């Protein structure tokens, strides 16, 4: 499907739009969010939905809705995020922020109330294969995948690239392509440099004698 991106008003939206390229799979509805949709100090109120949610391809009948947010959604109080969830009605959420590979599963989060919020968290930093699930089997369920960082500058030991395949029937296949443990390599370089310096200093001392 050819996609036309309107001129975004926020830098975050421009960056997210660029990351999707020019095509998406059929029947997939992507929503990009700005950080301000998840306030920490007060409940969320939708005053102007166009400022809060940027609909990339407005197809309400799409079988799969995906929400992309920098901040995690399911770890917050339901009263703060339920208005945006009811408007977008996502089946899948991609988030980051913690820079750790994590999955949040909730079977009743889409119920329009203030108490159904049975979120289960699972660490997948040891993932080696594919995680396969169906996003549309349960009407009130949401799956949130926190994608790990791919940069060692974030200060976490596990880095990689998340890969997701979403099919028209709602089936999701997800895995992480892990990158080499760069911190171990950097520590190895540091030890090697220290050893070389020690050898050089020792050889100079013996020459002077």
The model's pLDDT over 40-63, given as tens digits with 9 standing for 90+, comes to: 444 444 444 444 444 444 455 678
Q: Are residues 62 and 80 in the same domain?
A: yes
Alpha-carbon gap, residue 101 to 145, rounded angstroms: 8
Tell me if 1 is assigned to some domain: no
Q: How confident is the model at residue 83 (pLDDT cuts 50, 70, 90)?
A: confident
- pLDDT above 70 (res 199): yes
Looking at residue 147, what DSSP letter applies?
P
**Cβ atoms of 148 and 160 closer than 8 Å:** yes
Look up the pTM and report it: 0.71
Cβ pair 172, 92 in contact under 8 A? yes
Q: Do 16 and 37 sit in the same domain of this protein?
A: yes
Q: Inform me whether the pLDDT recorded for 6 exceeds 60.
A: no
Mean pLDDT of the chain: 77
Beta bridge partners of 158: none
35 inside domain? yes
For residues 141 and 49, state if they share a domain.
yes
150 plus 184 within the same structural domain? no
Domain shared by 122 and 190, yes or no:
no
Confidence of residue 193 (pLDDT cuts 50, 70, 90): very high
Number of domains the chain contains: 2
| Helix (H), strand (E) at residue 174 | strand 171-178
pLDDT surpasses 50 at 91: yes
Q: What is the mean pLDDT of residues 86-100?
A: 91
Q: Is residue 2 part of a domain?
A: no
Residue 172 shares a structural domain with residue 185? no
Tell me, yes or no, whether 208 and 174 share the same domain: no
Do residue 62 and residue 112 come from a single domain? Answer: yes
Whole-angstrom CA distances from 187 to 77, 100, 191, 193, 201 are 41, 22, 6, 10, 21
The reported pLDDT for the residue numbered 79 is: 86
Residue 203 confidence class, pLDDT cut points 50, 70, 90? confident
**Domain coverage including residue 132:** 11-178
Q: Are residues 189 and 172 in the same domain?
A: no
Same domain (yes/no): 27, 124: yes
Residue 54 lies in a domain: yes
Determine, yes or no, domain membership for 207: yes
Q: Is the pLDDT of residue 33 over 70?
A: no
């Amino acid at each position: 499907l050819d996609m036309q991106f309107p001129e975004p008003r926020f830098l975050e939206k421009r960056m997210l739009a660029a990351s999707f390229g020019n095509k998406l799979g059929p029947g997939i509805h992507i929503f990009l969010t700005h950080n301000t949709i998840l306030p920490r100090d007060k409940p969320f109120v939708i005053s102007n939905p166009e400022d809060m949610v940027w609909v990339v391809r407005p197809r309400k009948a799409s079988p799969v809705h995906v929400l992309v947010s920098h901040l995690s959604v399911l770890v917050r109080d339901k009263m703060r995020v339920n208005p945006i969830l009811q408007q977008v009605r996502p089946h899948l959420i991609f988030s980051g922020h913690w820079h750790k590979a994590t999955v949040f599963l909730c079977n009743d989060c889409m119920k329009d109330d203030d108490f159904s919020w049975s979120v289960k968290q699972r660490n997948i930093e040891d993932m080696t294969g594919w995680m396969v699930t169906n996003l549309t089997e349960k009407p009130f369920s949401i799956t949130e995948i926190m994608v790990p960082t791919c940069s060692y500058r974030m200060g976490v030991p596990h880095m990689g690239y998340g890969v997701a395949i979403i099919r028209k029937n709602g089936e999701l296949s997800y895995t992480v392509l892990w990158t080499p443990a760069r911190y171990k390599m950097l520590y190895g370089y540091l030890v090697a440099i220290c050893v070389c310096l020690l050898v050089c200093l020792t050889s100079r001392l013996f020459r002077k004698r």
